[in-house]
Amino acid sequence: MKIYNTQNVRNVVLLGSSKSGKTTLAETMMFEGKVIDRRGSIEAKNTISDNTEIEQIYQRSIYSTLLYTEFLDNKFNIIDTPGSDDFVGGVYSAFSVAETGIMLVNATQGVEVGTEIMARHAEKHQKPLIVAVNQLDHEKQDWHMAVDSLKQAFGNKIVQIQFPVNPGSGFDSFIDVLKMKMYRFKDENGTREELEIPEQYADEAAELHQQLLEMAAENDEALMETFFDKGVLTEDEIRTGLKVGMQKGDIMPVFCLSAKKDIGVKRLMEFVINVAPSPDREENTLKTGEKVKVDPNGPTSIFVYKTALEQHLGDVTYFKVMSGKLTEGMDLVNPETGSKERISTIYAAAGKKREKISEVMAGDIACTVKLKSVKTGQTLNAGNCDWVFAPIKFPASKYRTAIKAKDEKDDEKLGEILQRASAEDPTIVVEYSKELKQTILSGQGEHHINILKWQINNVHKMEVELFAPKIPYRETITKVARADYRHKKQSGGAGQFGEVHMLIEPYVEGMGQNNRFKVDGMELVLNIKGKEEYNLEWGGKLEYYNCIVGGSIDARFMPAILKGVMEKMDEGPLTGSYARDIRVYVYDGKMHPVDSNELSFKLAARNAFKEAFKKAGPKIMEPIYNVEVWVPSDCMGDVMSDLQNRRAMIEGMSSEKGFEVIKARVPLAELYKYSTTLSSLTSGRATFTMQFAEYQQVPADVQEKLLKAYEAQEKDE
């Protein structure tokens, strides 16, 4: 394989709903470029992409796959991505290295949920989109319905480059209104003939050509003047206008396709070469915000957009050369860790089919193996270059579950498997919660997590179970209370003795210091001798006051008293959750000259704190999340009703890009499996985001249930 210059590279990401034909198109593009000599099919389970067992079982893409082809002296890097939003991590990583998206639309379905969702992702990443209406050879295709649905979804951005002559099972011809020619296909290997437009299609072609001229001219002032002067534009001028409009996100050109029969694929690839941006037109953003041009003459710097573990090969690292030229045997440095990596071999990748190459120029994508420690989203540089490219901002998790191995002996191995899965797919988030004593697994949806469970069960041969995670509640108090506790234990020899008198009150940020209290019908005036403040790692604060006078408790026991308080805050008196935002005053106590020790005072403090806490108007706080739901208007009532059943507080509603947007605050306890319910209510047409907002007090009835559940649990234990 020859080495391609930056201007002869095109990096494209294939997007669209499941079953829109992305993998079939990728297969045909590789066939056209002679990378493969026969095309596989999804049904035969022999495609270059979708090559894992689980993808072949489901007959759809689950992982993004890097492929390449060579066409008209250009190299295409093609990233075939999953159609389900549960696997959106592959789409985000692809957008970090590809300049253009090709959106496939199924001619039997028109614009689907996945089409709209993927278009939103493309818009967020500011990537131009080309639309290909695929499967026009299907007997149930409906070209006009598909185009109408595109116009409804994307408005006047849609501009037809082609229209089919005989869509349906006999589909073999289309008219191209950019070239003003008809293309007829003689076989299913892309053999075509270029013909003049038949008279019966001349008016439709002329009308669409005029629309194309106007759209191209609108996006460039010089072209607009030429168009006004001459009334026409040349083919190259039209391309220039389209290029500008696509880059602005104002134009989405539409093509006809049968990827399965290789109809229109060549023409689509020609358009990508002529109109889609090459990498040298791009600037990439550093972590500092500075922009860096893709320059083959610049310092060598690569960005790792994906890592994968292959059974017989080990770690495979996929990267884009952001600047300079990468050669075999080059030593690079990770500027974030200082670790050195040697690039021993470089491969052009077409799924698991790889071709060894000696060097890669700026803008090109390739892979290597056996790097020591580099992770997805990191940069490697040569020489004195210290660039760090901005990491990929993956979407926040929308689904969380607890996971454990059925056999406790497998716990350590399970931890390793989950960490590896997270490294390969950063939208899988793994966290062991010391507070909840659970391993919490978060992802983009229930299907996303179930695929991981399948991998653990079938690839790693380990049985695991998934279950509802506990909620990280917080406990605090609402009023002043006091308690004293004597810990006394006598057995042969020295015993244990410690007595602690304690007062507690709620802490509020910015509150003044107080030493006079009315509690249990009596006035209490404290002599504050010392104060310690602690910002708790789980949020909130503890203020600890030493008010001991007259030596009733020796100063050497004060740290033990603090330790006892902290231990009980670490496992709150109500539900075992963390306690927060409390002031503790230790003002009296007793000790024994022989039997008093640190353990005695620690235990006395724990119990005094526990008793005072229960008398201080205790309340349980729950995590509240800001939830934003994008829902089609006809599903609005069902979604609103479901949110209200989840104790949601609706904060606002608006309309945006054909969707109703609901903003609400919802308790985390009510969001378990929400992504599954939302998909069911809206036939997969809605999507949502969730982000932690704050802790709020739970309603009285919920608190009562939580207290009873904790009491029952303690009895069982």
CA distances in angstroms from 325 to 283, 300, 359, listed in the order given: 17, 6, 7
Pair (500, 635) in one structural domain: no
Pair (35, 100) in one structural domain: yes
Compute the average pLDDT of residues 600-623: 96
Domain boundary among 617, 637, 665: 617
Pair (31, 106) in one structural domain: yes
Measure the CA–CA gap between 7 and 293, rounded to whole angstroms: 13
Pairing mode, strands 65-71 and 74-80: antiparallel
Pair (421, 358) in one structural domain: no
Q: Is residue 235 included in any domain, yes or no?
A: no
Strands (E), 21-154: 65-71, 74-80, 100-106, 129-134
Pair (329, 299) in one structural domain: yes
- Token code pair at residue 433: 């919660």
Of the pLDDT bands very low, low, confident and very high (cuts 50, 70, 90), residue 492 is: low
Domain boundary among 239, 266, 281: 281
Of the pLDDT bands very low, low, confident and very high (cuts 50, 70, 90), residue 494 is: confident
Pair (502, 442) in one structural domain: no
Q: How many CB atoms lie within 10 A of CB 98?
A: 27
What CATH number corresponds to the domain at position 294? 2.40.30.10
The structural domain count of the chain equals 5
Compute the average pLDDT of residues 354-361: 96
Q: Is residue 392 included in any domain, yes or no?
A: no
**Which pLDDT tens digit goes with each residue over 254-301?**
999 999 999 999 999 999 999 999 999 889 999 999 999 999 999 999
Q: Does the predicted model carry a pTM greater than 0.95?
A: no
Beta-bridge partner residues of 389: 286
Pair (188, 43) in one structural domain: yes
In eight-state DSSP terms, residue 263 is: B
Pair (108, 29) in one structural domain: yes
Pair (333, 408) in one structural domain: no
Compute the average pLDDT of residues 659-668: 95
What CATH number corresponds to the domain at position 642? 3.30.70.240
Please give the residue range of the domain that contains residue 104. Answer: 6-213+249-281
Residue 639 has pLDDT above 90, yes or no: yes
Residue 717 has pLDDT above 70, yes or no: no
Compute the average pLDDT of residues 553-573: 95
Strand, helix or coil for residue 494: coil
What CATH number corresponds to the domain at position 437? 3.30.70.870
**Which pLDDT tens digit goes with each residue over 507-549?**
999 899 999 999 988 899 999 999 999 999 999 999 999 999 9
Q: Is residue 225 included in any domain, yes or no?
A: no
Least confident of 98-102, 181-185, 679-683, 713-717: 713-717
Q: Is residue 499 included in any domain, yes or no?
A: yes
Domain boundary among 617, 651, 677: 617
**Which pLDDT tens digit goes with each residue over 458-478?**
999 999 999 999 999 999 999
SS (H, E, C) 422-465: HHHCCCCEEEEECCCCEEEEEECCHHHHHHHHHHHHHCCCCCEE
Pair (44, 147) in one structural domain: yes
Pair (181, 165) in one structural domain: yes
